[in-house]
Amino acid sequence: MRHMSRRLAIVSSFVALAAASIATPASAAPAITFEIGRYDLCVNGTAPKGQLVTYSLRDSHGTLRLRARTHAESDGTFYLCPFGSVPTYPEPGDTVKVKTPTASRSIVMPDIWPSIDRVTDVIRGHGPKGATLRVQVAATTGDVSRTVTVDDAGRWRLDLGGVADILGADQVLVSWKHAGVTVRAVSAAPAVLFSPQSDYVTGARNLGRPVSLRLTDADGKVRSDTTAATYGPSFLAFLESAKGRAVNPRSGDRLRVGIAGGITLRVPAWNLKADVSAGRVTGRCMPNAPYEASAETSFYFDDDSDFDDYIDTQWSGTTGPDGRFSRRMKLKLGVDVELRCRYPSGDIFVAGIDTQP
């Protein structure tokens, strides 16, 4: 399946971090301010106009993990993304320092990453004792913003039961503003994304939690039983049989994943067709399911005239009681069509095809 890695990327990726121990500039030069996140490669902020800005990370033993430089713009802002062959993210306990020839500011990173219970709608985490944190939830059912205070044990808890119904992949942002530094932790509620066209299963998890997966057929026979690889707040698994062969989920199968207390998703009867001659996209997934679809030209452009035929369309809707939908639209050969259907829990079913004559 073309571009499966793109199709299987979930909400995609997540930002998070924390702050403490602020060092103020020693001179009267304009102060440095910055924002940073634990799973964010980039740092941005303000610094004296035009000056060289040096960003560095040192671990709790003082060992240099990363150093990168840029110049502040004429308006005093800077934005730095030190990409490398191996991504280097700030970790709790690291010292993050941003300096110029006339000013500096540093923080020691605490952990404010949230743990999200989408069943009870409770969010909890850690932070500097006595700190006031802002918790913002971008929920499917509506946005919520609250402040919490970290207790003497370095913990906080926010119960949104009856206020918000947190679904899989809903976003939670925890932020702390302190003495010129904004520390952010952006996470997604635990969720699963899978396709019947691939043995990949990916998604979001709470940090520190292993993720097990079991795929059974309609008769309860185990087709695959595995444990996902985890990296930060994400997981990725390859469904394999007992003999090591790749296994794709089939309609009627049940996929059990060890997140949110253990969830079971039934693989729906599905299809997806893009008919060029009829100028119509039709599909099927779960009944009465919110869906998003897109059609995009997949070829490379040789000259400017190619843009005249470029197609890039997105739309959304809800499937019918039989799980079907249909849409008339301009199509041509060489167009990728992708369908994403959402379970009531927020988990995501994905399928994709190329156009047909």
Give yes or no for residue 194 having a pLDDT over 50: yes
Q: Classify the C-alpha dihedral 299-340-317-191 as positive or negative.
A: negative
| Residue spans per domain, the chain | 33-108, 115-188, 190-266, 271-354
Give yes or no for residue 5 having a pLDDT over 70: no
Q: Phi/psi of residue 4, each to 5°? A: -65, -35
Give yes or no for residue 305 having a pLDDT over 80: no
Within a 10 A sphere around the Cβ of 179, how many other Cβ atoms? Answer: 14
Q: What is the pLDDT of residue 357?
A: 59
Q: Are 74 and 222 in contact (CB under 8 A)?
A: no
Tell me the mean pLDDT in the region 32-41: 93
Q: What is the pLDDT of residues 215-266, one digit of tens each?
A: 999 999 999 999 999 999 999 999 999 999 999 999 999 999 999 999 999 9
By percentage, how much of the chain surpasses pLDDT 70?
A: 88
CA atoms within 13 A on the CB side of 315: 14
CATH code assigned to 190-266? 2.60.40
Distance CA 287, CA 209 (A): 32
Q: Which CATH class is domain 115-188?
A: mainly beta
| Residue among 144, 138, 32, 9 at smallest CA distance from 80 | 32
Q: What is the pLDDT of residues 68-77, one digit of tens each?
A: 999 999 999 9
- The DSSP output letter for 323 is S
> Do the domains 190-266 and 33-108 match in fold?
yes
Architecture of the domain delimited by 271-354? Sandwich (2.60)
Tell me the mean pLDDT in the region 45-64: 96
Give yes or no for residue 56 having a pLDDT over 90: yes
Higher-pLDDT residue of 301, 338? 338
| Residue among 127, 106, 103 at smallest CA distance from 16 | 127
Q: Among 2.40.160, 1.10.510, 2.60.40, 2.160.20, what is the CATH number of 33-108?
A: 2.60.40
